[in-house]
Structure 1
Amino acid sequence: MPQEPPPGALSSAFPPPPTYYTHFTEENLTALKSHRLEDGTLPPDDTLPDPLCYLVPPPPPAGSYRAFGEEWMVPERYPSLEEAGIRQLYPPTSMAAVAAANGGGGGGGADKGKELTVDRTVELRRLSKSLLLNYLELVGVMGMAPEQFHEKTADLETILFNMHHLINEYRPHQARETLCLRMEEQLERTRRETEENRKAVAKVEDILAGLELVAKRADAICGGDGLGAGREKKVDDGVAKARVRDVEAWKALVGMGG
C-alpha cells in the first residue's frame, strides 16, 4: 500500500515527480487487468501485490492532505487561527467561528455561514496600535533585560498572524470586486464599440443619401423637365442640319464630276 510522504518531503520549489510513474509499465498494466473484478472495477490497493498497488488511484482525501510541504483542507477553505494554534485577538467574523469558539454549539447549519457585522478596518487599526506598542516594549526590554525578549517577540508574532489572517478574509471580497470591475470594463468597451458602429452607420447613410441626391439632380439635368427637353431638341436639330449639309456636299461633288 502506498505510504504517505513525510511532512516537508516535497517542500522544494521544484520538487521531482513522485516515483509512482515508474511502475506504469506494459507488464504491470497487463498484470493489473487480470486482477479486475467481475464488474470491471479494480480491487482495493491493499489487496494487490507490490508494485500493482501503486497503479490503483487512491480514494479522495478526507479532511486534509499534504502537497508541496503544505497542508490543504478538503473541501478547500481558509483555516481559522484556532485550528493553527494561534490565539485570536479580534471578535469572530462569522457564526461558524462563534460555534467553534463555543465548542461546536450554536445555531443551525444555515446560520454558520452567516457573516457578522465586524468592522475589520477598526480591528486592523487596533492591532496596528498594539503592534507598535509591543515593539516599543520590546525595545525597552532589549535595553534592560535582553534575555527576556521571548515573550515580547511571541506577542508580536501573534499580532502579525492576526493581522495577516484578518487581511486574508478580504480575499473573497477582493475577488468579487475585481470580477465586478472586469465586467464593468467589458460592458463599457462593448458600449463604446456599439456607439462607434452606430456613428459609422450614420456616416454611411449620409453618404448614400448624398449619392441619391446627386442621382436625382443628374436625372433632372438629363431629362424630366423643360430644360432637358430643349437640349435634346437642339441636339436633334444640329444632327438634321449636319445631314442636310452632307447631302448638299455630295450633290455638289457629283455635279462637278459630270
Structure 2
Amino acid sequence: MDLDDHGLTFSADAVMDETEELRNPFPSPPSHYTKYTTHNLDLLALYNERLPDRRNESQAQILADQTDVPDWPLTQLEKPRIDWILEEPEPYYDVFGERWFVKDKIPSLGEGGGTQLYPEDPTVDRRPALLGILRSLLVTYSQLTSAILAPPPSINLSPANTEPPKPEWEEKVEWITVLAQNLMAAANDLRPVQARGNLELMMQRQLQLRREETKALHDKCDILDAKLNELRAAAQLISSRGDSTDVAMSDPTPTKVVPDDVLAEDVLRWAEEVE
C-alpha cells in the first residue's frame, strides 16, 4: 500500500490491473466512474463556491454542514484542464492506455528510429535524393545477385575470432531494406499532395459533367422550342383557313349551278333519261 499526495491509499496491484483493463480491446469503464453522482457534483459546486473565502480550511470543514461528504478530494471530479495540455511543447492525452497527440503528426522515418536518406524539411526538393536512392537500390540489387552467385568463401577461424564474418549478401539485403524504407516513407509523405490532386481532378470531372448535362438540356429545350413554333404556325394556318370558309358560306350572292355553256336541250334530255 502506498500514500499519494491527497492522503489516499491505493494498491500497486490494483493500479496494474486497471492499466491492463484499459489496454483491452473492449475495456470496462474506469473504476472511479461511480464517483460522478449528482450528490457529489453538487458538493463540488458548493465547495468551489465557498473555497475562495475559506482557503485555509479543509474539505471536511468547508462542507461540515453537508451530509455524505466523501473522504477523497472532490477536485478529482473536475474536468481536465485543456489549457494545461495545450501549454505543453507536444500536447497529448491518454485514452484507454494509448497516447494521442493533440496535433496530429506523422513521425518521419528518422523520428521513428530509421535511417533517413532524404531531407526531412518538406520544403526542400527531394527529387535528387530520391533519384540517388533509386540508383543505389539498383546497384545494390546487382551486387546482391553477384554475391548470391559467387562461391562461398573459405572460413578460417582464429582463436581470437570465433565468429564467422557476416556474408556479403546479408549486408546487401540490409542496405536494400534501408533504401526501400526511405522510398516508402517518402511516398507516404506525398499522400496529402496526392489526395489534394485527386480531389482537384474529381471536382474538375464533376464540373465538366455538369456542363455537359447543362448543354444537353439547353439543346433539348431548343428542339422543343422549334417544335412548339411549328405547331403554333400550323394552328394559325388552320385558323385562317377556317375563317375564309365561314365568310364564303355567309355570302348572300347566288351562285350559278349550271355553267353557261350547257344548253336547254341537254338538260331536257338528261331529265328524260332519269325518268
Q: By the TM > 0.5 criterion, same fold?
A: yes
Q: 2:133 aligned with 1:117, yes or no?
A: no
2:216 maps to: 196
Q: 2:111 aligned with 1:83, yes or no?
A: yes
Secondary structure in 1 matching 2:114: coil
Structure 1 position 138, deviation (Å)? 8.6
Runs (5+) with no aligned partner, structure 2:
6-14, 51-58, 60-70, 154-162, 255-275
Structure 1 position 22, deviation (Å)? 4.7
Give, in whole Å, the separation in 1 of the partners of 2:171 and 2:97: 29
Give, in whole Å, the separation in 2 of the partners of 1:151 and 1:8: 40
2:135 corresponds, among 126, 140, 162, to 126
Q: Which amino acid aligns with 1:122?
A: L
The answer as to whether partners of 1:32 and 1:52 remain within 8 angstroms in 2 is yes
Q: Which amino acid aligns with 1:57?
A: P
Normalization by structure 2: what TM-score?
0.54
2:44 maps to: 32
The answer as to whether partners of 2:22 and 2:28 remain within 8 angstroms in 1 is no
For the structure 1 residues 131 and 80, does the alpha-carbon distance in structure 2 shift closer, same or farther, using more than 3 Å as the test?
A: farther
Structure 1 position 181, deviation (Å)? 1.5
Structure 1 position 161, deviation (Å)? 2.7
Q: 2:27 aligned with 1:16, yes or no?
A: yes
Q: 2:234 aligned with 1:208, yes or no?
A: no
Structure 1 position 193, deviation (Å)? 2.0
1:165 maps to: 185
Give, in whole Å, the separation in 1 of the partners of 2:39 and 2:143: 65
Structure 1 position 155, deviation (Å)? 3.9
Structure 1 position 192, deviation (Å)? 2.1
Structure (1 or 2) with the greater helix fraction: 1
Normalization by structure 1: what TM-score?
0.57
Indicate the RMSD between aligned Cα atoms, in angstroms. 4.5
The answer as to whether partners of 1:124 and 1:166 remain within 8 angstroms in 2 is no
The answer as to whether partners of 1:222 and 1:228 remain within 8 angstroms in 2 is yes
Q: Percent of counterpart pairs with the same letter?
A: 23
Q: Which amino acid aligns with 2:114?
A: I
1:56 corresponds, among 53, 71, 79, to 79
1:174 maps to: 194
Give, in whole Å, the separation in 2 of the partners of 1:37 and 1:29: 12
- Structure with higher Rg: it is 2
For the structure 1 residues 56 and 127, does the alpha-carbon distance in structure 2 shift closer, same or farther, using more than 3 Å as the test?
A: farther
1:104 maps to: none
1:229 maps to: 247
For the structure 1 residues 148 and 136, does the alpha-carbon distance in structure 2 shift closer, same or farther, using more than 3 Å as the test?
A: same
Give, in whole Å, the separation in 2 of the partners of 1:230 and 1:156: 105
1:113-169, Cα deviation, whole Å (9 max, x unpaired): 6x222217625633643663686589689x779984786665454333322211111
Runs (5+) with no aligned partner, structure 1:
39-46, 95-112, 238-258
Q: 2:203 aligned with 1:183, yes or no?
A: yes
